[in-house]
Structure 1
């Protein structure tokens, strides 16, 4: 699962006294900034800190002029001559400073916060540049096509839930399934990391939560500055890996004898590789396909803006005084406004359905399994019974505990402003 920082990134905590005075003759030295045009705006960001903002054309031009060494007054004069409008460069420099884009104002060097940690820091872009080669989508497509052809000829190879029960020993099925599932999940995230690193984006893999789901996610903030083909490659690489593994397993499965242990294991692996794919369509949980949708619609923060509009619609429905603040989507460009309003419906319906399913099915089943496992411990249940119970407690209980710890840690990090 991918994760990126919205373009309207939160500035670093600063106060006016933290920085030297800015007068018309002041020159500023900017950090290395990347710039990319996006429709009617420009994305400007600093890869080292993974901070990115959307600016109008005048803002991007001001960054260019300041970067060339022009003073504040000369920059304002140039912008006035080019656009015919006044531009407050002094305030603009203060905004850039708050974002951490300014290295020096006049003769004073500004403090620079430590960059966020990256996963596998020794993996350099030139090590994995091959991941962006155009031949890879062709290979994935060919492998997937071959698997579909085989499946059409032999529909009996299509797996179902019974294929996961490849052994009569429940504890063995549970432990092996958990190990294989987490291995595939890590490989999925490594695919995101590798493709993003090939573009020059550091990337960081970590645990996260999406509603009731414990997920592994890769922060690839900075991919916004890459060309669209590279962005789409980074977003879709995890799904491509799952489909490639599933296709390869299906082809091998077709060559094995039914009823053998190898056939049963391959069928279970095939199902485990395919299981995460439907989850990606739950775009209301900011899955990989959510970022594809956000990119294609040209929205800056589809989830955040959709959530804000949903709250406004609810307050208006219940006639809350808070609705007087107005519709937040009216501040968006027309193409974003339409996408945000449609997405807000998907967000509300999808979230409600997920939480209802958790309350009605997932939570009662988890509680029942955990209670049964706890009761199954003891000398009177024998070695096999204790092993099964212990496996359930370790795997299922461990996942639930890990969800709570991850949710609490990430919540504290967001409140503290930590990366």
Structure 2
């Protein structure tokens, strides 16, 4: 191997290491200083042997540059070797591909979060008529109208929330993709903004918090509008404001990698808080089994982490275990029995209902509830296939 040509790579310093990667694919890696120097020399068109000699002269250490190049090939960072183009799968097509970074770069302006904070302050000071209780959601005596508004606003807000992540990341040059996913028993829409790790911290945090900021903005605007209207429009706008606020407590469930999880991971300067926390939890579980007579020879995986990451991972592992246990327990004790009971009743009603409307109601429940659970199962199964 005489020459390698690298794809366009971005990098930023991160403590004693460098984060290097391709925004187009979302692949990135942490390299020590000597790895970054090797990458720079290869990027200048120097052959691996000469790169190794220069690094030896600089550092006094022997660096296996050919092995380093092999690792870069596996990451998809190498475009050509000795003039031969490397066959690689093209990057996945991004969502909303026609939107370019220049179109949405204004989202990274400090004026945007300042405007959101100002809007929240104005809303709190004016105290609009939006009682935070169930009666606000029951704005109409017609249940179908209440459900229709809830579904329309809920799905619209979900799309706006994810588009906020996508477009803010796009402003930094990250492609971004949206898809359905599962988090424990929850069916969620998630936005993959892998590659945002190459952006400055302020831009990363802006992308992570963009969804929450969108919900708060919609809630404030609807609440302020409710304050200057009367009758049905006021009740509808108040319901919209509360519907925009309802998803926010879900973000506190950091053990299922919500938006605030990524903020926490960034602030603790951890590479993979969830993955390392899960690995440490499994290690502790195996240690517990060993005390009960089962033999294991595992080594604590957190010992390989820097001190600051090790502390964060061990604390997070407790949150991971407690949160997951409580979430699944609630699902087993409350949600699943309720769904099964409702489904069983609907099956009976759909076949033996006293009227046509009772039977249609039963069929609607069977289709809706069964469809949601089937969609969750299909999404979960596809996620397993992707991880495999």
> What TM-score bracket applies, with the shorter chain setting the length?
over 0.9
Over aligned residues, Cα RMSD in angstroms? 1.9
CA contact (8 A) 2:130 2:241 kept: no
Alignment partner of 1:374 is 2:350:
no
d(CA) in 2 for partners of 1:322, 1:285? 31
Alpha-carbon distance, 1:386 to partner = 5.2
Q: Equivalent residue for 1:47?
A: 23
Alpha-carbon distance, 1:203 to partner = 0.4
Change (3 A) 1:249 1:387: farther
Q: Equivalent residue for 2:90?
A: 114
d(CA) in 2 for partners of 1:235, 1:354? 23
Provide structure 1 residue ranges, at least 5 long, that are not aligned to the other structure: 1-21
Task: List per-residue Cα deviations over 1:179-210 (Å, max 9, x = no partner).
Answer: 22111101100001110111110000110000
Alpha-carbon distance, 1:393 to partner = 3.8
Farther-moved stretch of structure 1 (43-52 vs 237-246): 43-52
Secondary structure at the residue paired with 1:59? helix
Equivalent in 303, 308, 312 of residue 283 of structure 2: 312
CA contact (8 A) 1:193 1:220 kept: yes
Alpha-carbon distance, 1:275 to partner = 1.1
Q: Equivalent residue for 2:255?
A: 284
Alignment partner of 1:30 is 2:9:
no
Alpha-carbon distance, 1:171 to partner = 3.6
Q: Equivalent residue for 2:317?
A: 344
Alpha-carbon distance, 1:173 to partner = 2.6
Q: Equivalent residue for 2:65?
A: 89
Alignment partner of 1:231 is 2:204:
yes
CA contact (8 A) 2:130 2:242 kept: no
Farther-moved stretch of structure 1 (280-289 vs 128-137): 128-137
Alpha-carbon distance, 1:382 to partner = 4.8
Q: Equivalent residue for 1:160?
A: 133
Secondary structure at the residue paired with 1:247? helix
Q: Equivalent residue for 1:130?
A: 106
Alpha-carbon distance, 1:84 to partner = 1.9
Aligned length: 386
Farther-moved stretch of structure 1 (183-192 vs 94-103): 94-103
Alignment partner of 1:101 is 2:77:
yes
Q: Equivalent residue for 2:274?
A: 303
CA contact (8 A) 2:5 2:78 kept: yes
Alignment partner of 1:247 is 2:247:
no
* TM-score (norm. length: structure 1): 0.87
Secondary structure at the residue paired with 2:13? strand
d(CA) in 1 for partners of 2:351, 2:152? 26
* TM-score (norm. length: structure 2): 0.94
CA contact (8 A) 1:374 1:393 kept: yes
Change (3 A) 1:102 1:380: closer
Change (3 A) 1:275 1:264: same
d(CA) in 2 for partners of 1:364, 1:48? 45
Change (3 A) 1:397 1:161: farther
Secondary structure at the residue paired with 1:118? coil
d(CA) in 2 for partners of 1:201, 1:255? 40
Secondary structure at the residue paired with 2:229? coil
d(CA) in 2 for partners of 1:349, 1:172? 39
CA contact (8 A) 1:178 1:395 kept: no
Task: List per-residue Cα deviations over 1:284-342 (Å, max 9, x = no partner).
Answer: 00000101111111111000000000011111122165642210000000010000000
Alpha-carbon distance, 1:343 to partner = 0.4
Change (3 A) 1:404 1:65: same
Q: 4+ residue runs of structure 1 moved beyond 6 angstroms?
A: none
d(CA) in 1 for partners of 2:29, 2:385? 24
Change (3 A) 1:402 1:171: farther
Provide structure 2 residue ranges, at least 5 long, that are not aligned to the other structure: none
Alpha-carbon distance, 1:391 to partner = 4.7
d(CA) in 2 for partners of 1:373, 1:162? 27
Equivalent in 372, 378, 384 of residue 405 of structure 1: 378
Change (3 A) 1:56 1:121: same
Q: Equivalent residue for 1:80?
A: 56
Secondary structure at the residue paired with 1:148? helix
Secondary structure at the residue paired with 2:297? helix
Secondary structure at the residue paired with 1:128? helix
d(CA) in 2 for partners of 1:149, 1:375? 52
Change (3 A) 1:406 1:118: same
